[in-house]
Amino acid sequence: MNELDVYRKQNFGNSSGFGDRPALLIVDFVNGFADPDQFGGGNIGEAISATAALLASAREAKIPVAFTRVVYADDGSDAGVFCDKAPGLKNLTEQSEASQVVDALAPADGEYVLRKTQPSAFFGTGLAAWLVSRQADTLLVAGCTTSGCVRASVVDSMSYNFRTIVVTDCVGDRALEPHEANLFDMGQKYADLVSSGGVIGYLAGVTAG
Amino acid sequence: MNELDVYRKQNFGNSSGFGDRPALLIVDFVNGFADPDQFGGGNIGEAISATAALLASAREAKIPVAFTRVVYADDGSDAGVFCDKAPGLKNLTEQSEASQVVDALAPADGEYVLRKTQPSAFFGTGLAAWLVSRQADTLLVAGCTTSGCVRASVVDSMSYNFRTIVVTDCVGDRALEPHEANLFDMGQKYADLVSSGGVIGYLAGVTAG
Amino acid sequence: MNELDVYRKQNFGNSSGFGDRPALLIVDFVNGFADPDQFGGGNIGEAISATAALLASAREAKIPVAFTRVVYADDGSDAGVFCDKAPGLKNLTEQSEASQVVDALAPADGEYVLRKTQPSAFFGTGLAAWLVSRQADTLLVAGCTTSGCVRASVVDSMSYNFRTIVVTDCVGDRALEPHEANLFDMGQKYADLVSSGGVIGYLAGVTAG
Amino acid sequence: MNELDVYRKQNFGNSSGFGDRPALLIVDFVNGFADPDQFGGGNIGEAISATAALLASAREAKIPVAFTRVVYADDGSDAGVFCDKAPGLKNLTEQSEASQVVDALAPADGEYVLRKTQPSAFFGTGLAAWLVSRQADTLLVAGCTTSGCVRASVVDSMSYNFRTIVVTDCVGDRALEPHEANLFDMGQKYADLVSSGGVIGYLAGVTAG
């Protein structure tokens, strides 16, 4: 019996679906994660490209849009265990080129740009409160890495009871095996996996509505 | 270049080490997850066996011990998106046989047994505050599933800046591929991977100290 | 210049208003807080009486209803600093008479009853996630004590960006000066103060809608 | 029977004491809260003066020091219900003079300066994780206002099981009645009230140790 059979037999992998009030979260698509010599590589470049179209669609539908950046203090005063595991993270400071959102996805006025120091976009941030203020019931997630900050953010999004959609071609990772393994875990237990085509179709309905 | 090379080149996978004041967290080793016909299977049975020795060692060292159980209200009033994805979770209620900690690891008086409804042992629970009250700086994690509640708990433990140790032979999963993939992710980014033999040796030193 | 003048001059005390999707939170109206020999006294009895009508109105409007109870483990394993300040809290255990919701406000099937060990109904609980799952945008708060668990819950409710309404005659305290002082603080900075008459009128509109 | 008698009879107001590893938190002592024409007034000026000596003592003892600033995005994208109640808060942006820590207490290199948008220094911030990384067991709290962000931070500090000390002459408020009323509430239920003289004496012992 392979792993998918076990999950089926135990009744995982059901759909949690879309709600009526989506928001879009774009995780860590900053220069340092777009650069294979820093934290990038794999299919992250393609995911950024696909996200440009998704973002345009979200703006047209006038849904709330949030971006995350990893930002540590210049003096390292807020570095912790995560930086012990991956010391390069400390280079992502407020002014560093590496911590700026990539040009192709530059935030517009009124969009929410949040700083974080941990994998999840919810941990130690105002994201949950911001989603409540927008009355969102659904979170569309793009970004990187699939096996890191996307996964952690998706688990928290689901834990807060937002219907959570991983936009499959808009998430990327430096290595493809962890990318695939984490898509599997998320699809079975935490979120629905939908391509950007499917999500853009859904957003067209939201606009119309 | 394979995935491990990418992680090495980007300087992931460093050790965050052990601190001086460990606590032990045993995640969801309850009857329902020990039973292949419910949520169990794979190497979960072996992980429970290995955890019995780890727990004995933790008790001898007199370190704080916490257990998690998944517990939903009898009337389903607290069921959310997680139960949409995996409806069987709703059967785990306060009195159900499936939600009791397995006999082999029965909690002792004074050990902390926490109820949770989400993957992470930290989400919506008193775990962080309990660890602060015990002045823990290190969290040793056993339990199941590696790709589910263990992973989510480890990410939060690290995010709270506890040095986090995944006890490799004391975590288990219903399917081995996700088990391995998640050990890889955790070892590269969030925690140190140490066998129960190594952890028991460390605890002997804590006792002596 | 008296204190109210300062707050006016600095532009505090504006209304945050009602939204469209209210939920009702009833904080710690349990036997031990209804009994002047335990944690009760003052105007708590009257607040419980007024809350009975509010609860009936909420049920008629079919809005989500949540209750909190203070519940510590029988063996004291989750007692912390709060119990150092007020040791009597440790008597509030799952089965103790003192920790049961008062008969006049007995929870109905499907209403959410949450256990907590800290002042705020949000701290270490699933309340925020439950409100998200019900798509609430407004939290109506009754309970006790005004200067304790009500205040702490109101601050967190506002911090999560729920429009927060303190139902003035449905909150009570063992002593009237702290009751009044905390109504002042909450009205100036965190919540709107509305009588149960006003809230019941609002709920009639929600029903009609 | 006056209010103090009720609290005594119900066994509130016990001491939670000092631990061995203190940290200092200085809440919102920024220019806008030092200015009576913005958010200041009352005894805030005196509290800032007293805090200068406390801060010197903390630095001599080499304990961890954290400062909070209220900071909203320039475009208001993270403003919520708190700004509905008190619209002037939106003027506190990253670069505004009003949101900078007062010169008398300028943070030194390596001290933690955290941005927040809600009353509590813990809500949506990395403060709990930072305290864990410093293995703090005790939080000394200075700042303003006593009835606002100090109170909210103290409740959360206690909820996380840090032994919490309100440094009585180092907290201030725009109006004295709420200042006094909140000192009463905190002393009875959440924290010990100690003058800066007492805390400086304690820190001398920490240094010596």
The reply to whether residue B80 touches residue C117, judged by beta carbons under 8 angstroms, is no
Mean pLDDT value across residues C52-71: 98
Indicate if the alpha-carbon torsion angle D133, D138, D141, D146 is positive or negative.
positive
The reply to whether residue B85 touches residue A118, judged by beta carbons under 8 angstroms, is no
| Residue D208, pLDDT above cutoff 60 | no
CA–CA distance from C138 to each of A52, C19, D16 (Å)? Answer: 35, 6, 35
Quick one: which of C16, C18, C23, C51 has its CA closest to C128? C23
Instruction: Give the best residue of D77, D81, D134, D156 to mutate against chain A (max A CB count within 10 A).
Output: D77
pLDDT in tens, A68-120: 999 999 999 999 999 999 999 999 999 999 999 999 999 999 999 999 999 99
Mean pLDDT of chain A, nearest integer: 96
Quick one: which of A182, A205, A167 has its CA closest to A52? A167
pLDDT, residue B4, reads 81
How far is it, in rounded angstroms, from Cα C158 to Cα D119?
9
Instruction: Give the best residue of D78, D111, D156 to mutate against chain A (max A CB count within 10 A).
Output: D78
Mean pLDDT of chain D, nearest integer: 96
Q: Which of C21, C128, C135 sits opposite A128 (nearest CB)?
A: C128
Q: Which of A6, A13, A151 sits opposite B175 (nearest CB)?
A: A6
Q: Which of residues 126-185 of D touch B (CB under 8 A)?
A: 128-133, 135, 137, 159-162
Any residues with CB less than 8 A from the CB of D103 and at least 6 apart, and which?
Answer: none
| Domains, chain C, with CATH or none | 24-208 (3.40.50.850)
pLDDT, residue B3, reads 72
| Residue C209, pLDDT above cutoff 80 | no
| Residue B165, pLDDT above cutoff 60 | yes
Instruction: Give the best residue of A16, A122, A135, A139 to mutate against chain C (max C CB count within 10 A).
Output: A135
Residue D109 in contact with partner chain A when CB distance is under 8 A:
yes
pLDDT bracket for residue C66 (50, 70, 90) = very high
Mean pLDDT value across residues B42-64: 98
ipTM surpassing 0.90: yes
pLDDT, residue C120, reads 98
pLDDT, residue B1, reads 52
Determine the residue of chain A that is closest to D65 in CA distance: A77
Structure tokens that stand for C42 in this block: 């003052």
The reply to whether residue B137 touches residue D135, judged by beta carbons under 8 angstroms, is yes
Contact indicator for A166, A191 with CB cutoff of 8 Å: yes
Q: Which of C86, C158, C188 sits opposite D81 (nearest CB)?
A: C158
Q: Which of C76, C110, C124 sits opposite B124 (nearest CB)?
A: C124
Instruction: Give the best residue of B6, B120, B131 to mutate against chain A (max A CB count within 10 A).
Output: B6
Buried b (16+ CB within 10 A) or exposed e, A123-157: bbbbbbbbbbbbbbbbbbbbbbbbbbbbbbbbbbb
The reply to whether residue B75 touches residue C109, judged by beta carbons under 8 angstroms, is yes
Contact indicator for D44, D178 with CB cutoff of 8 Å: no
pLDDT, residue B2, reads 72
Q: Which of A181-190, B200-209, D121-130, D197-206 has the lowest mean pLDDT?
A: B200-209
| Strand order, beta sheet including D112-116 | D112-116, D65-70, D22-27, D138-144, D163-172, D192-194
Strand partners, D27: D68, D143
Distance from the Cα of residue B32 to its chain's centroid: 16
How far is it, in rounded angstroms, from Cα C23 to Cα B77?
14
Determine the residue of chain A that is closest to C125 in CA distance: A160
Catalytic residues of C, which ones? 149
Determine the residue of chain A that is closest to D128 in CA distance: A124
pLDDT bracket for residue D3 (50, 70, 90) = confident
Question: Which residues on chain A are in Cβ contact (under 8 Å) with B78?
Answer: none
| Residue A1, pLDDT above cutoff 70 | no
The reply to whether residue C80 touches residue B130, judged by beta carbons under 8 angstroms, is yes
Q: Which of residues 48-87 of D touch A (CB under 8 A)?
A: 73, 75-78, 80-81
Determine the residue of chain A that is closest to C157 in CA distance: A129
Question: Which residues on chain C are in Cβ contact (under 8 Å) with D80?
Answer: 161
pLDDT, residue D209, reads 53
Question: Which residues on chain B are in Cβ contact (under 8 Å) with C110?
Answer: 75-77
Question: Which residues on chain A are in Cβ contact (under 8 Å) with B85?
Answer: 12-16, 158, 188-191
How far is it, in rounded angstroms, from Cα D33 to Cα D99?
9
Mean pLDDT of chain B, nearest integer: 96
pLDDT, residue B208, reads 56
How far is it, in rounded angstroms, from Cα B199 to Cα B35?
27
Question: Which residues on chain C are in Cβ contact (under 8 Å) with A161?
Answer: 129-130, 132-133
Looking at CA atoms only, how far is residue A40 from chain B in angstroms? 9
pLDDT in tens, C137-160: 999 999 999 999 999 999 999 999
pLDDT bracket for residue B194 (50, 70, 90) = very high
The reply to whether residue A86 touches residue B14, judged by beta carbons under 8 angstroms, is yes
Strand partners, A115: A69
Mean pLDDT value across residues D113-142: 98
User: Neighbouring chains of C at 3+ CB pairs within 8 Å?
Assistant: A, B, D
| Residue D207, pLDDT above cutoff 80 | no
Mean pLDDT value across residues A51-56: 98
DSSP labels, chain D: --HHHHHHHTT--------SSEEEEEE--BHHHH-TTTT--TTHHHHHHHHHHHHHHHHHTT--EEEEEE-B-TT-TT--HHHHH-GGGGG-BTT-GGGSBPGGGPPPTT-EEEEESSSSTTTTSSHHHHHHHTT--EEEEEEE-IIIIIHHHHHHHHHTT-EEEEEEEEEE-SSHHHHHHHHHHHHHHT-EEE-HHHHHHHHHHHHH-
pLDDT, residue D133, reads 98
| Residue A32, pLDDT above cutoff 80 | yes
Contact indicator for D133, B16 with CB cutoff of 8 Å: no
pLDDT bracket for residue D1 (50, 70, 90) = low
Mean pLDDT value across residues D40-58: 98
pLDDT bracket for residue C4 (50, 70, 90) = confident
The reply to whether residue C11 touches residue D123, judged by beta carbons under 8 angstroms, is no
The reply to whether residue C16 touches residue D119, judged by beta carbons under 8 angstroms, is no
Question: Which residues on chain A are in Cβ contact (under 8 Å) with D77?
Answer: 110-113
| Strand order, beta sheet including A65-70 | A112-116, A65-70, A22-27, A138-144, A163-172, A192-194
| Residue A207, pLDDT above cutoff 80 | no
pLDDT in tens, B72-123: 999 999 999 999 999 999 999 999 999 999 999 999 999 999 999 999 999 9
